[in-house]
Structures are given as C-alpha cells and as structure tokens.
Amino acid sequence: MEQYKIDHKAEDEMIEAAFQEVLAGYLASNHRKKVEIITRAYKFAKEAHKGVRRRSGEPYILHPIAVAKIASQEIGLGSTSICAALLHDVVEDTDYTVEDLEQHFGKKIAQIVGGLTKISGGIFGNKASVQAENFRKLLLTMSEDIRVVLIKMADRLHNMRTLGSMTPNKQYKIAGETLYIYAPLAHRLGLFAIKTELEDLSFKYEHPAAYNHIKELIKESEAHRTEIYRKFSAPIKQKLEEIGLKYEAKARMKSVYSIWNKMEKKKVPFEEIYDIYAMRIIFDCDDPDKEKITCWNIYSIITDLYKLHPDRTRDWISVPKANGYQALHITVMGPDGNWIEVQIRSRRMDEIAEKGFAAHWKYKIGDGDEESELNVWLRTIKDILDNPEPSAIDFLDTLKLNLFASEIVVFTPKGELLTLPNNSTVLDVAFELHSQLGLHCIAGKVNHKLVPLSHKLKSGDQVEVLTSQSQKPRPEWVNFLATAKGKNRLRVALRKDQQPIKEQGKEIFTNFLKKHNLVGTNEVITKILGFLHIANREDLYLALGNNEVSLDDNLAKNITKQNSTSILTKLFRRKPSSNDKKEGTTTEIKIDTKETYILQHNENGANFKIADCCCPIPGDDVLGFIDENNEVIVHALDCPRAMMLKAGYGSRIVSTEWEVSTQKFLATIHIEGLDRFGILQELIQLISSTLNIDIRKLNIEAKNFVFSCQLSVLVKDTQVVTDLCNKVKKINGVKQTSRIY
C-alpha cells in the first residue's frame, strides 16, 4: 500500500537538512571552524546506522544528529563534542569499535565515545550494588573528560523529548532515572535550562494527570497573567527606553514541575502561588565594569515605580552563587497587589545562568585554564571515588550529596565525615561542628600539621580545630568562609557585636533625613539603598556606622527630586501594619491613587467612610480623600470641603466608584407644602407602605397653613431618592421636595 512505502529520497533530504542545521549553528558560534571533521563524522555515523530505525519509525541517524545539535547549540560545545555526539551510539549499536573510531577521528573523540558507551547501560540496575557501580562509572568517565557527561546530558534530553514513542514501563524507568540523577547533575553543571526541561518532561511522564492539570491551569490564567504583566512592565519598559538601555524583557514562567513542587510542599492551591512568573530584564553591556552599576540603575527605576519588598533583595552580583550564577533579584508589588520578582542581569550573566559552565568557557579568553574551575571539582570527585565507602548505598548517597551540594569531604579526628563546599577552610569546619568552636577558633591542625584558620582544605584532609576563649569573631573572616552555615553563624555573632555600630549608623541616617527634611518612608529608604547599592536597611546602618559609605547633599537632592513626582503616587495596596503606626510621623498613602477605588462593603463593614459634611450616597458624583489613617473618606464632588481638599491635598484624592450592593445609605429630604388634615399620614403611608422605604427620622413644623418637614430615609441610591421626591410631589398640597443631603 502506498502509505507504507518509504520515500527514501524525501527521508534523505530530511536527514541532510537536519545535519545542515547542526552545521549552521556551529558556524554561527565562536568556535574554530572544523567543518571537515564534523561532516566526516556525520557521514560515518549515517553509514553505520544505515537501515536502522528508532521505535518511532524515524531513521536512527536523526537521533545522533539531534544530540549533536543540543550539544552544540544548547550546551555550547565545540567540534570534538559534536563529532562525539554524532558518533555516540556507533560503538554501542554497530560493529565498529573504539579503536576504529580512533583510527578515523583521533584519540580524543574515540575516548569520549568510549566513555559514553561505558555508561550507556543506565544508572538504575536491579540491585543497589549495580546502581552504585554504574554511578561510579558515570562519575569516573566524567572526571576523565567532562564532555562525556555533557554529551550524555544532550543524549538524555533528546531521549526525554522523544519519550512518547517508548513503551510505558520504559518511560517510567527513564523518567525516574532522569529526575533522580540527570536533572540534579544538570543543575550541578549549571545547565539550568536543561535541568528545568528534564524535570518537566520527567514529571509529565510520572504524573501525567497532575502535569496536564497544571498545564490547564496555566493556560486558563494566561490572559489574566499577560494583562497583569503588560500593566506591570509597561512603565518599566518606558523608563528603560528613556535612558537608552538596550535590553530584553520577558515574563519568566515558573516551570510546571516547580509549580507542582510548591503546591505539594506548601500545600497551597495553584491560585495562591504568586511567584508563578518573574520579570526578567537582560541588558546588553559591552563593558564588564559597568554591569553592576547598570543593575542598580535598573533597580532604582523599578523601585521608583513600584513598592519594594524590603526583605527580598538578592545581590548575587557582589557574591555570585557557587555555580557561577550572577544577577540582582528584587521583589516589588505588582498592580494586582501581588508580589512580583524582577531578575536583573546582563547578557553575559544570563548566558551563564542558562548554559552554565559552557558559557563560562565562552567568556574566558585563552585556552589555558578554560576548564580549570570544573577540573578542581572533578578532581575531588575522583578523590572520593578512589576511597569508596564499604556500603554501596552509603557510597551512592555520599557521592550524590557531594555531587549536588558540595565538593570536598574531610574527616574530624574522631573519623567523622564532613562534606563541605570547595574552598572550605579550617574555620568552616569549626563552624560546621559548633558555632562556639567557630567563634573561638584560632587555628587548626590539618593532617597533624599546624595551619592558620584560613587554610583551605582538600578532600581527604583530617582536620582538628584549635580554640581559645579569648578569641573573638572578626568581620573579615567572611572572606574565607565557604559554607553558608559558617557565614550565617558568623553573621549572627557579629550582628550582636555590631549593634552599637548600627545604632551609630542609624543616628547618622536619622540626622541626614532631618537635615534634608526627609521622612524615612520605605520609598525613601528603597531609593537610598538603590543609590548606594546596598541590599537592606541593616547593612545600610552598618555601612554608615563603619564609615564605609556617606550620605551627601547630592544624594538628598536626588531623593527629593524624584520624591515629589513619584513617591506619593506609589502603588501599594496593603493594610497598615502595626509597624507603620510605630513610624508615626509618616502618613504615606497606601492606596493606589492612579486606580479607581471601589467603594465596597464586606463582613467587616465598609472600606470607606461617608463624609458627614455632604453625606453622599450611591449615584452621587463623589471623590475619595485618603486621610491620615489611610481611610478613604467619600465626599460629594460639589461639597465645599471636598473642593478645599482637592486644592490642598491633590495627591490624597482618589477617584472612586460605588460597588453595586444591597447596602442602604442615609439620605435626607426636605418637603414643603400647604398644611391640611391627614397630609402627614398620607406621606408616611406612601413612603413606608407603598414605596417600602425605611424612615429613620422625621421632623415636622407647621405654621400658618404651611408645613415643612425634614425626612431621613435609608435608600440604595440616588435613583430611589429621585423616585421618592417625584411621588411625594404628587401628594395633594406638597409644593416642593428636594434632597438636602
């Protein structure tokens, strides 16, 4: 039958086109151009896999081509790796040997393919010992040449992308293995994009229902999210363009897998995950020296527009993460009242974040040490491999721990094993054991030799900590601490010592504010932090107390200049906290005056107060005035007091709208007419029985056949009042009715 016949010509064209894509990507990279050997490897592999098909039915060669493409374009590897990727299944699946490859392509490529063949069996065997052995093999080959593992990653990624054509049990095995070992390994190697994709793909196969459900929820909320992002990002983009920055801004979605993880861990529904996306700003910067200042400039622009979350500024520029990640993260309140994270990075930082070590290599000039950083890590892996634990499972755990969280293993004099990040020192060990040991540490003994506390440790070192009660923690220790724990414990201790310095700093700061007639609102502080490139208030006081930074008149000018234009019209919609009340003098507005304020009732009452000078009701044209307590007082537009407020406190005026509700409001009507017997009864009859309106107050005066009455009623809106007046006018003898207020 026609449809089952394979069109060999079309298929060949497809294969050729796929390969040309690999070549084109390679030629566009900044590697040396070795097209000849790549083309040769492609032809060799194509010939070797000839006639073989994948489960999906497509020609086998498309798989190595796809792996080569990932290795080149997503990991950033060069010609040797592209060749090895093209050839990676040749030894495993055909009659060719590693020696054959060496003859054709040289020693390096053959070695890498050999390494890949060794670990092709998969990590998960039936027994723990097999597992451990395979894992050991993987790490061994990795320490021989990191490219083995990077190509393995590319191979795994392509297999995951095409997992759909596998049988379900295979899918399950491969997905589990991917989540267990490859995704964390990708993370450790800094391949964040690949890590995320591997996690999502594994999750999709392991929990298809949950995966589809979350996908669906993301889709449903997309329009809303896009709108919020548009609203949020528009003013930022405008400002960035005004300063002439070349940049790219995007909404960065949390991955399906990490959304699910958060829902599971924190037991929250999808709707309550507010950090579902972050805004990412990637700017072009030719001068590496200007990256940091540009990040902080962007910080200032954003915090001018939006309220900063005081505790969530992360400066990974001054102190990059262990895997090389650099960026400035801030969290601000978005227009819908939810916190939005903004990640600010240069193009260079972004590539490192996405491609990990491969990108590091790209930005390092010279061949000499391009893999050195990685080599140190790999050597430590080798050290552990040379001294495995007796139990296979323990060994596996130790390795896994070490692989993903830390880099060296040292021993205490008692033989206790400590896993520490690379570059850890004697002091790290001391803090690791006990904070008191750390704080009083004076030196160490490494392999029984006396060393200073800043001595860097190697895997396998035996470390003894020496202390003295007279020793005191010093701030400069932070420079040679590698563990988060050590840094934290030191920081806590120093904070106690630093209290007087901070007090001093605070005083300097208070005087500065006073001198320049500034109020220490969050906005002003956010701005000052931005100017000084300091992440939080505590650090500001400390820096001031230590005389590391100074506040000059220029700074004050800058603050006040922007202050008047933007601070009072800031966006923030949170309830006043007790903290705010303590700050007393501040009367910052916590209501977004740019948006229409909806006047509404809930179980706690109303979110507004009716001004008692004009008593407006729904249907009246009104405005809101935000008072000292951040309460919205509703005035009629034509109320004389409102006019005065408009003139004097423009920034405290907010436009308002009544929410449609069943709530009733008090309105007062004046009625005049000719007095006659029974008119009062007629009036009350009409209002309470016929119109079913609740009368609250009635004042009647009659004099010389003329009566006047003031009537207060509870009504829904002005329409009811108008109706009422019209009907009252029809009562015989009534001459005039009007609403007083």
Which residues participate in catalysis according to the annotation? Answer: 92-93
DSSP bridge pairs for 241:
none
Which span sits near Mn ion by CB under 5 A: 18-26, 86-94, 211-219, 454-462?
86-94
Rounded Cα distance between 359 and 30, Å, is 12
How many angstroms separate the Cα of 171 from the Cα of each of 122, 152, 280? Answer: 13, 18, 34
Which span sits near Mn ion by CB under 5 A: 123-131, 152-160, 185-193, 668-676?
152-160
Under a CB-based contact definition with an 8 Å cutoff, are residues 201 and 178 in contact? yes
Minimum CB distance to Mn ion smaller for 61 or for 453: 61
Q: Specify the pairing of strand 601-602 against strand 632-636.
A: unpaired
Which pair of tokens denotes residue 555?
């700074």
Minimum CB distance to Mn ion smaller for 88 or for 204: 88
Minimum CB distance to Mn ion smaller for 85 or for 535: 85
Q: Is residue 717 a contact residue for Mn ion (CB under 5 A)?
A: no
Which pair of tokens denotes residue 519?
């109020």
Give me the 48-77 binding string for Mn ion, x by CB under 5 A, dash otherwise: ------------------------------
Residue with tokens 């209002």: 687
For the CB of residue 155, give the shortest distance to Mn ion in the complex, in Å: 4
Under a CB-based contact definition with an 8 Å cutoff, are residues 31 and 79 in contact? yes
Q: Going by C-beta distance under 8 Å and a sequence separation of 6 or more, which residues neighbour residue 633?
A: 608, 609, 610, 611, 624, 625, 626, 627
For the CB of residue 116, give the shortest distance to Mn ion in the complex, in Å: 8
Residue among 708, 716, 712 at smallest CA distance from 736: 708
Which span sits near Mn ion by CB under 5 A: 154-162, 261-269, 392-400, 492-500?
154-162
Residue with tokens 């007279």: 470
Which span sits near Mn ion by CB under 5 A: 74-82, 148-156, 530-538, 585-593?
148-156
In the list 45, 114, 118, 155, the residue contacting Mn ion (rule: CB under 5 A) is: 155
**Phi, psi of 411, deg, nearest 5:** -120, 145
For the CB of residue 114, give the shortest distance to Mn ion in the complex, in Å: 14
Minimum CB distance to Mn ion smaller for 151 or for 240: 151
C-beta nearest to Mn ion: residue: 155
Helix (H, G, I), strand (E, B) or coil at 464: strand
Which span sits near Mn ion by CB under 5 A: 3-11, 31-39, 89-97, 520-528?
89-97
Under a CB-based contact definition with an 8 Å cutoff, are residues 324 and 356 in contact? yes
Q: Specify the pairing of strand 694-703 against strand 601-602.
A: unpaired
Minimum CB distance to Mn ion smaller for 151 or for 392: 151
Angle between helix axes 98-105 and 35-48 (nearest 10 degrees) is 150
Cα R_g (the chain), whole angstroms: 36
Rounded Cα distance between 436 and 430, Å, is 8
Site for Mn ion in 650-689 (CB under 5 A): none
Residue among 664, 669, 661 at smallest CA distance from 714: 664
Minimum CB distance to Mn ion smaller for 36 or for 95: 95
Minimum CB distance to Mn ion smaller for 89 or for 523: 89
Chain residues that interact with Mn ion, rule: CB under 5 A? 89, 155
